[in-house]
Amino acid sequence: MFMKDSCEIYCYDEPKVRKVQKALEQQDIKGMAKMFKVLADETRMKIAFALCEEDELCVCDVANITGSSLATASHHLRSLKQLGVAKYRKEGKLAFYSLEDEYMRQLVHLASTHSKESMLHATT
């Protein structure tokens, strides 16, 4: 039996709608979406996860972890840095990257936990 997954009549809760619209106006939705977009790439998510496992990694480490070239690893790390997910420091000829803050670490861990939970529920 097919169940319709949308409202069959048009009506809305005006106070709720106004409250949420006001809250949305105070948010940087574009910035939030950009952050998720950058993490939506599988290689960049691997890098973010790797930076959760190790506080700091050089570009060479990241290239080996992801199985990519130095240029590709550097490109992805630069994207993470530009969007505020990662930060870097230079030590001699090496460039080291780490997560920007604890919020990024929590976000990656939350995504990992949610993914594991989803997989468990899909198999049961």
CA–CA distance, 58 with 55 (Å, rounded to integer):
11
Q: Is residue 7 part of a domain?
A: no
Instruction: Read off the CATH number of the domain in which 39 is found.
Output: 1.10.10.10
Q: Which two tokens stand for residue 27?
A: 């948010």
pLDDT tens-digit series, residues 79-113: 999 988 999 999 999 999 999 999 989 999 999 99
Check: pTM over 0.75? Answer yes or no: yes
- Domain count for the chain, please give it: 1
Q: Is residue 6 part of a domain?
A: no
Domain of residue 46, residue span: 14-123
Q: Is residue 80 part of a domain?
A: yes
Q: Is residue 105 part of a domain?
A: yes
